[in-house]
Chain A
Amino acid sequence: MTSPTHAPAGVRETTEGTVYDVTGGDWDQIAADIAQSDDERIIVNMGPQHPSTHGVLRLILEIDGETVTEARCGIGYLHTGIEKNLEFRTWTQGTTFVTRMDYVMPFFNEAAYCLAVEKLLGIEDDIPDRATLIRVLLMELNRISSHMVFTATGGMELGATTVAIFGFRDREMVLDLFELITGLRMNHAYIRPGGLSQDLPPGAVDALREFIKKMRKNLAEYQKLCVGNPVFKARLKDIGYLDLAGCMALGATGPILRSAGLPHDLRKTQPYCGYDTFDFEVPTTDTCDSFGRFLLRLEEMHQSLRIVEQCVDRLEPGPVMVADKKIAWPAQLALGPDGLGNSLDHIKKIMGTSMEALIHHFKLVTEGFRVPPGQTYAAVESPKGELGVHAVSDGGTRPYRVHFRDPSFTNLQSMAAMCEGGQVADVIVAVASIDPVMGGVDR
């Protein structure tokens, strides 16, 4: 293979083949090359530290006047090595890591991972109903908070500060619930293989009902604020166009695919966590543009609220962890004088009465449970699209490999198709409508 003489990036030959370098070339060389060429094109590097690129995304835009002729993404600025770290921790500890992948939708990461582990263990049918219901409840609340972040950051990038303030105001309401239920505002590690780390606290159901009432009122405000606003409409309509054929070719899922008119939603097409028993609709539009995606997300929040309401109505007392003591985390959490801790009754039992229980507790906590060898794929419909987990076990207490098919990553490749041929200012809108979260893209 011969290397191009003036590649936009640095090139060097190694024994492994040609290595391209993303740090860019020598300015004198680049300027001389451009001076020789007869066109007016310039290459603009947007990011990775740019307020409008949704985190540390780097966009490399080739522009001719105000028109973008070529657009490419530079990713990897937030690569955290989470998948590698998982291989050195027990299956239960894995939830602590995966929740930090796409930090705007932590519950979906946890749920997808736990569904995969449970599939490998073959205990999908043993998960208590209450645990599944609470998972659905939290996922739908999380969908609302994720779409709120989309609305807020998207609005902020357009200069619509009011929308940003509104979005964060309503997200705070959801985070208050998360804090009440899991103890944390973000990065919860609440969903565990086999069930949940603990049950809903007292007062949670009342708080949820109160929230549903308030949120319903607040959601109507977005309708008034954005949908009728001519400036907002003008910025979003017909921008970031990607039709169904394009979506299919690029593997786009979630609101992007549904904005092209295909009602593909894993909650309907291959139900998990009992989604087939809930009454909700999958909204679609056929506009294929950013405005359609915005409307879809708005409607999805309404639908999520419906599911949350049904979950709250259906909640019945019961266990929240699988009955198998070989898998269930042995801790019975209780609030001690120093914050969270193990319940004194449980400590009394393992320390005072049952040697076996103590050994069992010790082994399960320090070593973890064993997962039969094999591989599996579990997918959930996250706010951004299909979030899949490919988990491989070699029979040990730690994963052999866990790969996440993150929707942000896959959807981001449609950026070029959406932006090329458009204006520079519309790149911001198109990228915002993809709603990529770099934590999920780079992991």
Chain B
Amino acid sequence: MGLEEKLPSGFLLTTVEKVAGMARKSSIFPATFGLACCAIEMMTTGAGRYDLARFGMEVFRGSPRQADLMIVAGRVSQKMAPVLRQVYDQMPNPKWVISMGVCASSGGMFNNYAIVQGVDHVVPVDIYLPGCPPRPEMLQDAILKLHEQIRTSKLGVNQQEAAREAEEAAKKALPTIEMPLSSEKKGLPR
């Protein structure tokens, strides 16, 4: 994105990473992307009792060009999906996405012709937040987890290295359900 991405790996880049991470996580500007029920809970989170201002992010920007976090709050219909993608594309890098609620995460209870079965079909998602709708506390928890992710994120060559490591780890990862070996196969085939 900038000069920091061009720095060689080493002590200077690690310091810059820390500073950039700290700065980025401390002043996130969310774009208003309220769609349905979750949007009301999102507004509640911004209002008095839960008060997102404590985390420096009470200013919901109307323009995506001033925002770096998109909270997809609610069910994404087939008609809304292109608009959502356009708004995402208009946001400047670096940017993050929280998929708020089950409808945005997976389609939820609306497994039908009208609803996109998970907003990750349209934009990359950083945090999936379950609930229908999630409580404001849950949204805050998701936001704090995202803050931690942003704070420790890598830059430049380190970021490429981290991505490579993550891919290697994913390749080696064992399936969560242990499959029986074919020699000791018992009962019904899975």
Q: Which of B128-149 contact A (CB under 8 A)?
A: 132-133, 135
A97 touching B114 by the CB < 8 A rule?
no
Q: Tell me, in angstroms, the Cα distance from A172 to B32 when the chains sit together.
A: 21
Please tell me which stretch of A46-54, A337-345, A351-359 contacts chain B, meaning at least 4 of its Cβ atoms lie within 8 angstroms of it: A46-54
Contacts of B113 in A (CB 8 A): 81, 84
Q: Tell me, in angstroms, the Cα distance from A76 to B83 when the chains sit together.
A: 13
Chain B 33-47, CB within 8 Å of chain A: the 1/0 string? 111110111011001
Is A439 an interface position by the 8 A CB rule? Answer: yes
Q: Which of A63-110 contact B (CB under 8 A)?
A: 76-82, 84-85, 96-97, 100, 103-104
Main secondary structure of the interface of A (DSSP, over half): loop
A56 touching B112 by the CB < 8 A rule?
no
B83 touching A48 by the CB < 8 A rule?
yes
Is A153 an interface position by the 8 A CB rule? Answer: yes
Contacts of A96 in B (CB 8 A): 109
**CB of B62, distance to nearest CB on chain A (Å):** 4
Q: Tell me, in angstroms, the Cα distance from A52 to B62 when the chains sit together.
A: 9
The listed residue (A51, A55, A77, A85) touching B110 by CB distance below 8 A is: A85
Is B79 an interface position by the 8 A CB rule? Answer: yes
Chain A 102-129, CB within 8 Å of chain B: the 1/0 string? 0110000000000000000000000000
Q: List 10 A-B contacts (CB under 8 A).
A: A49-B33, A49-B83, A50-B62, A51-B32, A56-B80, A78-B75, A96-B109, A100-B36, A104-B40, A172-B49
Q: Tell me, in angstroms, the Cα distance from A283 to B48 when the chains sit together.
A: 30
Q: Tell me, in angstroms, the Cα distance from A265 to B20 when the chains sit together.
A: 59
Indicate whether A85 sits within 8 Å of B112 (C-beta atoms), given known contacts A49-B33, A49-B83, A77-B80.
Answer: yes
Is B16 an interface position by the 8 A CB rule? Answer: no
Contacts of B158 in A (CB 8 A): none
**CB of A332, distance to nearest CB on chain B (Å):** 25
Contacts of A52 in B (CB 8 A): 62
The listed residue (A23, A169, A186) touching B40 by CB distance below 8 A is: A186
A80 touching B77 by the CB < 8 A rule?
yes
Given contacts A80-B77, A169-B47, 8 further A-B contacts (CB under 8 A): A48-B83, A55-B39, A78-B75, A79-B114, A80-B75, A80-B110, A80-B114, A169-B48
Contacts of A50 in B (CB 8 A): 62
Is A168 an interface position by the 8 A CB rule? Answer: yes
Is A185 an interface position by the 8 A CB rule? Answer: yes
Q: Tell me, in angstroms, the Cα distance from A96 to B37 when the chains sit together.
A: 14
**CB of A186, distance to nearest CB on chain B (Å):** 6
Q: Tell me, in angstroms, the Cα distance from A339 to B74 when the chains sit together.
A: 26
The listed residue (A51, A153, A185) touching B41 by CB distance below 8 A is: A185
Contacts of A164 in B (CB 8 A): 47
Q: Tell me, in angstroms, the Cα distance from A278 to B142 when the chains sit together.
A: 45
Q: Tell me, in angstroms, the Cα distance from A79 to B76 when the chains sit together.
A: 9
Q: Which of A159-186 contact B (CB under 8 A)?
A: 164-165, 168-169, 171-172, 185-186
Contacts of B114 in A (CB 8 A): 79-81, 84
Residue of B whose beta carbon sits closest to that of A88: B112
Q: Tell me, in angstroms, the Cα distance from A362 to B113 when the chains sit together.
A: 30
Contacts of A304 in B (CB 8 A): none
Contacts of B43 in A (CB 8 A): 152-153, 168
Residue among B40, B41, B109 with max Cβ neighbours from chain A (10 Å): B40
Contacts of B33 in A (CB 8 A): 49
Give the number of chain A interface residues (Cβ < 8 Å): 37
Is A187 an interface position by the 8 A CB rule? Answer: yes
Give the number of chain B interface residues (Cβ < 8 Å): 35
Indicate whether A78 sits within 8 Å of B77 (C-beta atoms), given known contacts A97-B109, A168-B43, A172-B44.
Answer: yes
Chain A 34-52, CB within 8 Å of chain B: the 1/0 string? 0000000000000011111
Contact residues of A with B, CB < 8 Å?
23, 48-52, 55-56, 76-82, 84-85, 96-97, 100, 103-104, 149, 152-153, 164-165, 168-169, 171-172, 185-187, 438-439, 442
Q: Tell me, in angstroms, the Cα distance from A169 to B64 when the chains sit together.
A: 28
Contacts of A438 in B (CB 8 A): 36
B49 touching A78 by the CB < 8 A rule?
no
Q: Tell me, in angstroms, the Cα distance from A85 to B77 when the chains sit together.
A: 14
Indicate whether A103 sits within 8 Å of B115 (C-beta atoms), given known contacts A165-B47, A165-B48, A168-B48.
Answer: no
Indicate whether A186 sits within 8 Å of B41 (C-beta atoms), given known contacts A80-B114, A81-B112, A84-B112.
Answer: yes
Indicate whether A103 sits within 8 Å of B110 (C-beta atoms), given known contacts A55-B35, A78-B77, A78-B80.
Answer: no
Q: Tell me, in angstroms, the Cα distance from A81 to B117 when the chains sit together.
A: 13
Residue of A whose beta carbon sits closest to that of B136: A185
**CB of A152, distance to nearest CB on chain B (Å):** 8
Contacts of B135 in A (CB 8 A): 185
**CB of B71, distance to nearest CB on chain A (Å):** 13
Q: Tell me, in angstroms, the Cα distance from A338 to B79 when the chains sit together.
A: 40
Q: Tell me, in angstroms, the Cα distance from A81 to B76 when the chains sit together.
A: 12
**CB of A121, distance to nearest CB on chain B (Å):** 25
Chain B 102-131, CB within 8 Å of chain A: the 1/0 string? 000000011011110000000000000000
Contacts of A85 in B (CB 8 A): 109-110, 112
Contacts of B60 in A (CB 8 A): 51
In order of increasing CB-CB distance, the 5 nearest A-B pairs are: A168-B47, A81-B114, A103-B37, A51-B62, A81-B112
Q: Tell me, in angstroms, the Cα distance from A55 to B47 when the chains sit together.
A: 17
A439 touching B79 by the CB < 8 A rule?
no
**CB of B16, distance to nearest CB on chain A (Å):** 34
Is B157 an interface position by the 8 A CB rule? Answer: no
A48 touching B80 by the CB < 8 A rule?
yes
Contacts of A185 in B (CB 8 A): 41, 133, 135
Residue of B whose beta carbon sits closest to that of A84: B112
Contacts of B112 in A (CB 8 A): 80-81, 84-85
Indicate whether A171 sits within 8 Å of B44 (C-beta atoms), given known contacts A49-B87, A77-B83, A186-B37.
Answer: yes
Q: Tell me, in angstroms, the Cα distance from A425 to B80 when the chains sit together.
A: 25
